[in-house]
């Protein structure tokens, strides 16, 4: 019985690898870790939990969640009893179609996000009236005040199927959707549910009609994306320092 109670009391630490008391006021949620990204963020290593891996820098907590709306959304909900007040989703996205201003490697921040997270709804094409989730208005405004020249503002859709996203290009165009990911809407809605502010910074790694996710990038394209993510890390670190003031 005592052992069972200990497991309940340490649930967060079991899942995240850190105690609730170790979580900082700003958390970066990352579904996928690019090689070398931890060093860029100034984090030596992550503590591995049952579901998530977590590490602290001097000013924020980074949580590696794995890819999916459920994993990232749950991670945010689990933060409800921590000191976390600000959440930033940092990940990749696909561009519906390239434009003069938005291309492979661009950094984007969603102004809103269409929720198409359900695989079944996408498969049955019953996603015409999906919910829309939003970032925190004040946090986004603060972020864009100093980064407007580096980051493109877009409309996003979070999808439940990589296979089916290509079949919904016309729907995305009709609804004015410029980029797609798999986690953004879950992070926005879960953050609002627990009373935290949230924004998202995404980097474009593929283009649905021109360079889908399964196609290998050439050396120049890899260099563009690597440069973009390093720039994103700098932007996020500078922004979080201002949040801490």
Q: Contact at 8 Å (CB) between 185 and 161?
A: no
DSSP 90-113: EEEEEESS--SS--TT-EEEEEEE
Average pLDDT over residues 46-65: 97
Q: Model confidence over 177-227: pLDDT tens digits?
A: 999 999 999 999 999 999 999 999 999 999 998 999 999 999 999 999 999
**Tokens describing residue 14:** 């079991």
- pLDDT for the residue 166: 87
CATH number for 12: 3.40.50.1580
pTM: 0.93
Q: Contact at 8 Å (CB) between 195 and 85?
A: no
pLDDT-derived band at 9, boundaries 50, 70, 90: low
Q: What percent of the chain has pLDDT over 90?
A: 81
Range of the domain at 22: 2-243
195: Cβ contacts below 8 Å, ≥ 6 apart: 80
Radius of gyration over alpha carbons of the chain, in Å? 18
- pLDDT greater than 50 at residue 1: no
Q: Model confidence over 61-76: pLDDT tens digits?
A: 999 999 999 999 999 9
Residue 33, beta-bridge partner list: none
In 3-state terms, what secondary structure has residue 169? helix
Average pLDDT over residues 32-44: 94
135: Cβ contacts below 8 Å, ≥ 6 apart: 109, 110, 111, 112, 188, 198, 199, 200
- pLDDT for the residue 188: 98
The end-to-end CA distance of the chain, in Å, is 45
Our count of domains for the chain comes to 1
């Amino acid at each position: 019985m005592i052992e069972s109670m200990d497991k309940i009391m340490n649930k967060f630490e079991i899942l995240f690898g850190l105690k609730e008391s170790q979580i900082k006021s700003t958390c970066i949620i990352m579904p996928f870790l690019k090689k070398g990204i931890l060093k860029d963020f100034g984090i030596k290593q992550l503590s591995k939990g049952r579901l998530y891996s977590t590490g602290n820098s001097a000013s924020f907590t980074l949580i590696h969640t794995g890819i999916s709306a459920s994993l990232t959304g749950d991670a945010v909900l689990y933060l409800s009893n921590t000191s976390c007040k600000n959440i930033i989703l940092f990940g990749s996205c696909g561009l519906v179609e390239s434009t003069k201003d938005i291309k492979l490697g661009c950094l984007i921040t969603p102004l809103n996000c269409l929720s198409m997270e359900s695989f079944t709804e996408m498969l049955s094409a019953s996603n015409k009236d999906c919910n829309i989730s939003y970032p925190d208005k004040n946090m986004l405004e603060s972020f864009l005040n100093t980064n407007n020249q580096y980051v493109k503002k877009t409309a996003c859709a979070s999808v439940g199927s990589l296979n089916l996203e290509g079949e919904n290009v016309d729907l995305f165009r009709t609804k004015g959707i410029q980029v797609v990911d798999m986690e953004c809407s879950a992070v926005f809605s879960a953050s609002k549910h627990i009373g935290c502010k949230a924004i998202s910074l995404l980097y474009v790694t593929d283009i649905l009609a021109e360079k889908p996710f399964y196609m290998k990038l050439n050396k120049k394209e890899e260099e563009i994306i690597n440069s973009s993510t390093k720039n994103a890390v700098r932007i996020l670190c500078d922004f979080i320092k201002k949040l801490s003031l």
